[in-house]
């Protein structure tokens, strides 16, 4: 086949992509004919650049990664065969060169300033009043002062200089006056365009020279996977995405940087030769049109009240993003007004950073206690010198498991870093060995259950130690809490305190005792009067009508969370039918594997459990499947297990990119969020899962591997 001549080149890049892919399929690459090779290389570069932009800038890829890889590879092969075709801006030329001995210094033509901080709404309003005062000569009292607000990315500031649309220098911020030349490293970051696109005819041509300012950072998901890889190789993991980004960008060998999953987002421009837009918000739109990625988490406002709302809303939403943000930057939108306001010392008057409350603090680890969960898992918990973190006093935090403590050499008496992220339980992140006095003592898992005194064991393939006693009081208290909890029987008023009280007073020693409680018994309990007792009895009575999958979830059978319970109830119309089910009939149920099947069979084989089921039924608790729990086939589309469910993704999947997985979920009416919370229904785990996996396990969120995820999609 002859090379397509310019006249047969489709002007639409999507169509062009397909033409090139077909051509690759039929003829392969490269070509011996120099002229043909030159045409093809130019076309491939154009198409690869187009898809880079779709992916990195617009966050809307059009082709699967595999097709992109084929185009990229073809270009690479072609340029190898015809080195004269290589241009410095070719997408294949991101990596190259020998390691440096040191970074060259770069003087910034205009300093990169820092920002003053606002810690609350009042600080923001005071700043706004100062801006209005400063603009009194140019802005009438009744004229609105437009503001632009953007997320403040927690990474490293860099300045990218483009000349005639080509990236010529990338520099770190340094001290604001002089930075380091990291051009070769910046070129390896896929979201940094090597060449700018000419903005569509909107009156502003490509400037002759333009400094783009922005932040280099590592996405949280990439960071988790990257750290996991480091750990597997036996290298020390990074403490947070910011350190990982800094360590990666300041590598003297660009091939090392190239392997690090860095991203870039611009937030403004520095000096320019050429015309630039008149406002901050228009500048960011303009950068996007030139192919430079900017965050979409930004907005323009007419007054400070709306800005305050925007900032405060982000305090709770920060964990929904796949990147760390530490605040919101608010800027006077009009550049002419920014110039009137100018700067004081090192920060501009026209911008301010609203800082989120800190989420990490250091304190003393007073002791490590162990807690017994309802499955008997023994979990170490930190007893802390109380410390204020993000508006809450924290005196306890999770230490996950014995390996976690040993791997990090955390000792009783240590000064430790404690983190409270979103609605995740506070956790001890690491210790600070430098602060040791010699009084600290290493910790070991106790040999006996703190509740019942029986020996505890570590099961193969489990990170946790377990108390195996079936009559362990602590396990029963946790089970009772779980049974009454929101995902199970949802009994109002029965929380952990009351569970302890009911169990310790001997009023409830097995789950069915709940349905036998009398008002007189309750009235003898501390803190109970007529009304409270009646409310609790009403709540218990109401729970007898709960759908079967909730009862099944509440029984606390290992591996039977809400999702598995639903699947089981689809297949078996009553608790009695399930009790009779064989291992084979259980594994025949979609989504039920041999481990879960065994756990179910074992549970129903225990005589005590059989009599529990019988007692619950005779006390009026519903043990039959209800119509809305019938299998999806019988209910129509609304029953898609994905519709309405919230997913979190962690690690790399083989058959999907992140985006493909997200789209697939969203197409079925599900939602994908960035972090595990009380609302998460499923965690999809790929290879090298991050800390989200552990968080999901702690919250007993259903974890799907790629195959189970695929099955779920198929069902939907
Ligand atoms: S504006 C003169 N906008 O925060 C204006 N900075 O504390 C200064 N940063 O060094 C920069 N996101 O690295 C601006 N949307 C944003 C930002 C942002 C992150 C960083 C930037 C700067 C530091 C200032």
Q: What is the per-residue pLDDT across 553-608, written as a single tens digit (0 to 9) for each? A: 999 998 898 888 999 999 999 999 999 999 999 999 987 888 899 999 999 999 98
For ligand 1, atom 13, name the residue with the nearest CA.
157
* Ligand 1 atom closest to the CA of 215, numbered from 1: 13
Whole-number Å distance, alpha carbon 157 to ligand 1 midpoint, is 7
- pLDDT value, residue 211: 98
| Stretch among 58-72, 210-224, 428-442, 537-551 having the lowest mean pLDDT | 58-72
Q: Atom 3 in ligand 1: which residue has the minimum CA distance?
A: 267
Considering only residues 680 and 260, tell me which one the structure prediction assigns the higher pLDDT: 260
pLDDT at 472 over 70: yes
Give the HSE-up count for residue 471: Cα atoms under 13 Å, Cβ half-sphere.
Answer: 2
Cα(249) to ligand 1 centroid in Å equals 18
What is the average per-residue pLDDT within 539-545?
96
Class for domain 640-716, per CATH?
alpha beta
Which of 54, 105, 152, 419 is catalytic? The answer is: 152
| CA 50 / ligand 1 centre spacing (Å) | 29
| Residue nearest ligand 1's atom 23 by CA | 114
Which of 150, 353, 356 has most ligand 1 atoms within 8 Å of its beta carbon, as the pocket-test mutant?
353
Mean pLDDT computed over 134-145: 95
Task: Using the predicted structure, report yes or no on whether residue 667 has a pLDDT greater than 80.
Answer: no
Query: How many Å lie between the centroid of ligand 1 and the Cα of residue 329?
Result: 7
* pLDDT (mean) for 313-328: 90
What per-residue confidence (pLDDT) applies to 358?
A: 76
pTM summary value? 0.59
CATH class of 357-469: mainly beta
Å from CA of 152 to ligand 1 middle: 6
Q: How far is the CA of 244 from the centre of ligand 1 (A)?
A: 19
Plot region of 176 (φ>0 → left; ψ -120 to 50 → alpha; else → beta): left
pLDDT of residue 172: 95
Q: Does domain 116-355 have CATH number 3.40.1350.10?
A: no
Residues 6+ apart with CB under 8 A from 627: none
The domain covering 473-543 belongs, at the CATH homologous superfamily level, to 5' to 3' exonuclease, C-terminal subdomain (1.10.150.20)
Q: Check residue 631 and give its pLDDT.
A: 62
What residues contact residue 579 under an 8 Å CB cut-off, 6+ apart? Answer: 604, 610, 613
Protein residue closest via CA to atom 17 of ligand 1? 152
Higher-pLDDT residue of 276, 7? 276
29 and 79 Cβ atoms separated by less than 8 Å: no
Q: Whose CA is nearest to atom 9 of ligand 1?
A: 152
Atom of ligand 1 nearest to the CA of 295: 15
State the burial class of residue 232 (Cβ atoms within 10 Å of its Cβ: 0-12, 13-18, 19+).
exposed
**For ligand 1, mutation pick of 159, 266, 311, 329 (most atoms within 8 Å of CB):** 329
> What band does 423 get if pLDDT is binned at 50, 70 and 90?
low
Please state, in angstroms and rounded to a whole number, the distance separating the CA atoms of residues 413 and 251: 37
| Nearest-angstrom CA–CA distance, 144 and 140 | 8
Residues lining ligand 1, Cβ inside 6 A: 113-115, 150, 152-153, 157, 173, 215, 267-268, 329, 348, 351, 353
Cα–Cα nearest to 151, from 320, 290, 288, 267: 267
Residue 174 Cα to ligand 1 middle (Å): 14
Cα(15) to ligand 1 centroid in Å equals 40
How far apart are alpha carbons 614 and 512 in whole angstroms? 9
* Residue 343 Cα: closest atom of ligand 1: 2
Q: Tell the residue nearest (CA) to atom 12 of ligand 1.
A: 152
Angle at 291 between CA 169 and CA 176, to 5 degrees: 35
Supply the DSSP symbol for 588.
T
The rounded Å distance from CA 151 to ligand 1 centre is 9
Q: How far is the CA of 557 from the centre of ligand 1 (A)?
A: 51
Please identify, by atom number, the ligand 1 atom nearest to the C-alpha of residue 150: 15
Residue 579 Cα to chain centre, angstroms? 39
Whether 98 has a pLDDT exceeding 60, the answer reads yes
Q: What are the phi and psi torsion angles at 714 (to 5°)?
A: -65, -45
Ligand 1 pocket mutation pick from 148, 216, 268 by most atoms within 8 angstroms of CB: 268
Nearest CA to ligand 1 atom 2: 113
419 is annotated as an active-site residue: no
Strand ranges for 83-155 from DSSP E: 105-107, 117-118, 147-153
For residue 348, report the distance from its CA to the centre of ligand 1, in Å.
Answer: 11
- Quick one: pLDDT band at residue 485, thresholds 50, 70, 90? very high
CA 114 – ligand 1 centroid, Å: 7
Q: Which of 152, 154, 268 best tests ligand 1's pocket when mutated (most atoms within 8 Å of CB)? A: 152
Q: Which helix (H) or strand (E) holds 265?
A: strand 262-273
The answer to whether 245 touches 155, Cβ cutoff 8 Å, is yes
Mean pLDDT score across all residues of the chain: 89
For atom 24 of ligand 1, the residue with the nearest CA is: 114
Question: For 361-387, what is each residue's pLDDT tens digit?
Answer: 999 999 999 999 888 999 999 999 999
Of 229-243, 307-321, 448-462, 516-530, which gets the smallest average pLDDT?
Answer: 229-243
Distance 215 CA to ligand 1 centre (A): 8
Residue nearest to atom 21 of ligand 1 (CA): 157
Which pairing describes strands 105-107 and 117-118: parallel, antiparallel, or unpaired? unpaired
Closest ligand 1 atom to Cα of 152: 12
Using one digit for the tens of pLDDT, what is the confidence trace for 50-92? Answer: 998 888 888 788 888 888 888 998 998 899 889 898 888 888 8
Ligand 1 atom closest to Cα of 353? 7
Task: Kindly state the average pLDDT of the residues 222-229.
Answer: 89
CATH topology classification for 6-94: Helix Hairpins (1.10.287)
By mean pLDDT, which of 502-506, 535-539, 561-565 is the weakest? 561-565
Between 202 and 179, name the one with better pLDDT.
179
What is the mean pLDDT of the segment spanning 15-19?
A: 89
Which atom of ligand 1 approaches the CA of 213 most closely? 11
Q: Are strands 392-398 and 377-389 parallel, antiparallel or unpaired?
A: antiparallel
Local confidence band at 511 (pLDDT 50, 70, 90 cut-offs): very high
CA distance 403 to 461: 13
With a cut of 70, say whether residue 7 has pLDDT above it: no
pLDDT at res. 637: 42
Q: Place 3 in a pLDDT band, splitting at 50, 70 and 90.
A: very low
> Across-strand partners of 365?
384
> In whole angstroms, what is the distance from residue 181 CA to residue 468 CA?
60
Of the candidate ranges 8-12, 297-301, 392-396, 498-502, the one whose mean pLDDT is the lowest:
8-12
pLDDT the model gives residue 468: 86
**Residue having the nearest C-alpha atom to atom 18 of ligand 1:** 152
For the chain, give every domain's residue range: 6-94, 116-355, 357-469, 473-543, 640-716
Calculate how far, in angstroms, residue 356's C-alpha sits from the geometric centre of ligand 1.
Answer: 14
């Amino acid at each position: 086949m002859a090379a397509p001549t310019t006249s047969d080149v489709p002007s639409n890049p999507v169509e062009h992509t397909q033409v090139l892919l077909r051509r690759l399929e039929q003829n392969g690459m490269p070509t011996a004919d120099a002229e043909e090779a030159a045409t093809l290389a130019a076309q491939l570069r154009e198409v690869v650049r187009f898809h880079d932009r779709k992916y990195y800038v617009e966050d809307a890829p059009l082709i699967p990664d595999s097709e992109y890889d084929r185009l990229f590879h073809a270009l690479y092969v072609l340029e190898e065969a015809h080195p004269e075709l290589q241009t410095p801006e070719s997408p294949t030329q991101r990596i190259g060169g020998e390691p440096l001995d040191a970074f060259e210094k770069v003087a910034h033509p205009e300093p990169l300033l820092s920002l003053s901080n606002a810690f609350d709404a009042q600080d923001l309003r005071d700043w706004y009043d100062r801006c209005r005062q400063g603009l009194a000569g140019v802005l009438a009292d009744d004229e609105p002062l437009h503001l632009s607000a953007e997320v403040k990315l927690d990474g490293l500031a860099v300045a990218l200089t483009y000349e005639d649309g080509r990236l010529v220098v990338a520099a770190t911020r340094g001290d604001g006056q002089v930075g380091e030349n990291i051009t070769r490293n910046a070129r390896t970051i896929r979201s940094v365009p090597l060449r700018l696109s000419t903005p569509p005819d909107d009156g502003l041509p490509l400037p002759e020279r333009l400094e783009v300012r922005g932040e280099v950072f590592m996405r949280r998901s990439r960071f988790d996977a990257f750290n996991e890889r480091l750990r597997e190789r036996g290298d020390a993991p990074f403490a947070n995405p910011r350190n990982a980004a800094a360590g990666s960008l300041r590598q003297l060998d660009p091939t090392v940087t190239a392997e690090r999953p860095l991203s870039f987002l611009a937030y403004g421009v520095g000096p320019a030769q050429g015309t630039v837009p008149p406002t901050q918000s228009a500048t960011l739109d303009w950068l996007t049109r030139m192919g430079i990625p900017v965050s979409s988490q930004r907005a323009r406002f007419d007054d400070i009240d709306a800005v305050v709302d925007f900032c405060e809303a982000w305090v709770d939403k920060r964990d929904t993003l796949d990147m760390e943000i530490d605040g919101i930057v608010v800027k006077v939108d009009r550049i002419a007004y920014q110039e009137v306001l100018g700067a004081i010392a090192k920060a501009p008057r026209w911008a301010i950073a609203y800082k989120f409350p800190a989420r990490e603090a250091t304190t003393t680890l007073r002791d490590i206690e162990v807690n017994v969960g309802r499955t008997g898992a023994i979990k170490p918990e930190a007893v802390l010198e109380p410390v204020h973190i993000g508006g809450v006093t924290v005196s306890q935090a999770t230490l996950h498991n014995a390996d976690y403590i040993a791997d990090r050499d955390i000792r009783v008496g240590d000064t430790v870093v404690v983190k409270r992220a979103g609605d995740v339980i506070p956790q001890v992140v690491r210790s600070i060995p430098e602060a040791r006095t010699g009084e600290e003592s290493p910790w070991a898992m106790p040999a006996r259950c703190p509740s019942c005194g029986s020996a505890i064991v570590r099961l193969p393939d489990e990170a946790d130690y377990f108390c195996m006693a079936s009559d362990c009081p602590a396990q029963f208290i946790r089970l009772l809490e779980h049974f009454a909890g929101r995902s199970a029987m949802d009994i109002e008023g029965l929380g952990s305190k009351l569970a302890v009280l009911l169990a310790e007073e001997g009023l409830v020693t097995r789950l069915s005792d709940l349905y036998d409680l009398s008002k007189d018994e309750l009235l003898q309990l501390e803190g109970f009067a007529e009304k409270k007792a009646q409310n609790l009895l009403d709540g218990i009575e109401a729970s007898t009508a709960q759908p079967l999958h909730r009862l099944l979830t509440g029984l606390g059978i290992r591996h039977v969370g809400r999702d598995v319970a639903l699947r089981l109830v689809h297949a078996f119309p009553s608790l009695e039918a399930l009790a009779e089910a064989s291992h084979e009939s259980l594994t025949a149920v979609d989504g039920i594997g041999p481990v879960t099947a065994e756990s179910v069979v074992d549970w129903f084989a225990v005589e005590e459990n059989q009599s529990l089921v019988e007692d619950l039924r005779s006390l009026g608790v519903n043990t039959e499947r209800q119509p809305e729990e019938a299998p999806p086939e019988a209910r129509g589309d609304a029953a898609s297990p994905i519709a309405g469910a919230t997913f979190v993704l962690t690690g790399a999947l083989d058959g999907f990119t992140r985006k493909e997985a997200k789209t697939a979920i969203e197409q079925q009416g599900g939602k994908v969020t960035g972090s595990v919370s009380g609302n998460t229904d499923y965690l999809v785990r790929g290879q090298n899962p991050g800390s989200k996996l552990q968080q999901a396990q702690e919250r007993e969120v259903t974890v799907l591997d790629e195959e189970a995820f695929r099955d779920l999609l198929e069902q939907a």
